[in-house]
Amino acid sequence: MHLSTHTDGIRRISTDRPVSASRTGAVDADALGQSMQLMGAMMTYPRDAEIFGENEPADYLYKVVSGTVRTYKILNDGRRQVSGFYLPGDIFGLEFTDEHTLSAEAISDAKVLVVKRSALNALAGRDASVAQQFFALTGRELHRVQDRILLLIKNARERVASFLLEMAERGSENNTIELPMSRQDIADYLGLTIETVCRTLSALETASAIEVSASSRRIVLRNRAALAA
Amino acid sequence: MHLSTHTDGIRRISTDRPVSASRTGAVDADALGQSMQLMGAMMTYPRDAEIFGENEPADYLYKVVSGTVRTYKILNDGRRQVSGFYLPGDIFGLEFTDEHTLSAEAISDAKVLVVKRSALNALAGRDASVAQQFFALTGRELHRVQDRILLLIKNARERVASFLLEMAERGSENNTIELPMSRQDIADYLGLTIETVCRTLSALETASAIEVSASSRRIVLRNRAALAA
DNA sequence: CGATGCGTTGATAACTTTCAAATTTAGTGG
DNA sequence: CCACTAAATTTGAAAGTTATCAACGCATCG
């Protein structure tokens, strides 16, 4: 499942200087994000490289600069539960324990800003606006997880439609979504099989709600109202 | 769905003096819980009374002294998603926004300690151990929600078994669980129908993993290994 | 151009919901 | 305390949904 390269994760921090993430197009006006850019080191990960693993010490906070990252957990029965997808501008790796409860991998080649948690904590102690951002980030994370629960009690069509709308909300323009993740990633995120995801997408296309390109990673939303229902 | 009595919630705070919750049997050695007992007002709610509602201002934090509380959300399609059950000693109503994102009701007649969030925040500013407890509480809450996600991608038998083990862990002795909530509450918590919950319990009983009493609210775990599998 | 991985489609089986009804339990008034 | 009623729980049968197993198509890349 994982490449053996780059699994040494954090110890590989390069000497690259932090660079502005503004060119990624992600909105980034928050104090926390700004601070991370000043304090962080830039890391690059090839496709499928592990960024951190479950049970490793959670000493760093991460911010996507380019590419996409997935966090996930492997269950006892071998299934994989994808917990979230992180696009440029998104912060991931936030934990409330000493160890990561999830693993993180680059979905596509990714540039990631890596910041020591201890440094951010110290900064939060000095700067109330940073502490406030931490609080808000935590709230968003909790909200995101709760929304996921609401998703998982719905049927396959609703899950896929919600997923498409969420992705459209986050990183697309003009109703066209460029999905960085595979069908398997989507299936593991939605708690469905890859076949069900495919069939549901086909059904939505038949119903004229979406269009799927030949490469299958580009999807055009034709009828948002139909998707929302 | 709700009784019309007591829906005025917080405005009914009585002049009762806070009392020790130690007699509830709940372990309660944390700084946050101690502080709440010193600062809080005791409220009593009859069965099915609303403690707070979605979209109401989240000005208070709550701690169960006796009885049981459920938090839930009503979805667009009319279904109810139960978010959590809170037993004596448990804290609920924690939010990261100005408004509650869930509603809360008493499952059985309940005594609840109610504390102003602003007072707790002020205390957290003075007492680092209280702030630390807030942090830990948040972490536990996030963990609880994430565990719920893992539950929801499993099949009915696994969900019911996990639920029983969770309840046994939390509030029972000697392998006997006294369930304060109805089958419908359980179904809405697990994302199943009441019929599936019943059938699954019957199947577990047939498989000698549990015993269900005549009143149906008392369940004896006969074979934990079988439940865990 | 052939190998390989990803995505799609088909057929069938397994699981869960839905609708209906029977059974049991809890509550209430006489 | 008992009979009656309402509510909760359980069981049955059929329909609907999703998973599983299998095969095929298609694109990418050496």
Per CB-CB distance under 8 Å, the chain B contacts of A142 are 96, 138, 141-142, 145
Q: Which tens digits make up the pLDDT trace of B119-141?
A: 998 998 888 888 888 888 999 99
Residue A65 falls inside a structural domain: yes
Q: Rounded CA gap, B2 and A160, in Å?
A: 33
- pLDDT (0 to 100) of residue A128: 85
Question: Is A51 found in the same domain as A96?
Answer: yes
Asked if A141 lies within 8 A of B142 by C-beta distance, the reply is yes
Q: Are residues A85 and A31 in the same domain?
A: yes
Asked if the model's pLDDT at residue B34 lies above 90, the reply is: no
**pLDDT values of chain A reduced to their tens digit, one per residue, 229 residues:** 333 334 343 444 333 333 343 333 333 347 777 777 778 899 999 999 999 999 999 999 999 999 999 999 999 899 999 999 999 999 999 999 999 999 999 999 999 999 999 999 899 888 888 888 888 899 999 999 999 999 999 999 999 999 999 999 998 778 999 999 999 999 999 999 999 999 999 999 999 999 999 889 999 999 999 999 8
* Contact criterion met (CB below 8 Å) for A32 and A132: no
- Give A12→chain B minimum CA distance, Å: 29
From A90, A114, A141, give the residue that closes a domain. Answer: A141
Interval B88-117 mean pLDDT: 95
| Residues whose CB is less than 8 angstroms from the CB of residue B167 and which lie 6 or more positions away in sequence, other chains included | B85, B177, B179
- Per the structure, how many domains does chain B have? 2
Query: In terms of domains, do A189 and A129 share one?
Result: no
Contacts of A145 in chain B (CB under 8 A): 142, 145-146, 149
Q: Are residues B51 and B136 in the same domain?
A: yes
A81, A138, A142: residue with CB nearest B150: A81
**Cα A41 to Cα A34: distance, rounded to the nearest angstrom:** 13
Q: Is A24 part of any domain?
A: yes
Q: Which of B182, B228, B223 is nearest to B205 (CA)?
A: B223
Residues A83 and A183 in one domain: no
Long-range interactions of B71-76: CB distance < 8 A, separation 24+: B71/B102, B71/B103, B71/B104, B72/B102, B72/B103, B72/B104, B72/B105, B72/B188, B73/A150, B73/B101, B73/B102, B73/B103, B74/B1, B74/B103, B75/A150
| Residue that finishes a domain, picked among A96, A113, A141 | A141
For residue B204, give the nearest of B153, B167, B163 by alpha carbon.
B163
pLDDT tens-digit series, residues B40-98: 899 999 999 999 999 999 999 999 999 999 999 999 999 999 999 999 999 999 999 99
Domain that holds residue B131: 4-141
| B180 shares a domain with B212 | yes
- A92 interaction partners in chain B (CB closer than 8 Å): none
Total-model pTM: 0.86
> From its phi and psi, is residue A147 left (phi > 0), alpha (psi between -120 and 50) or beta?
alpha
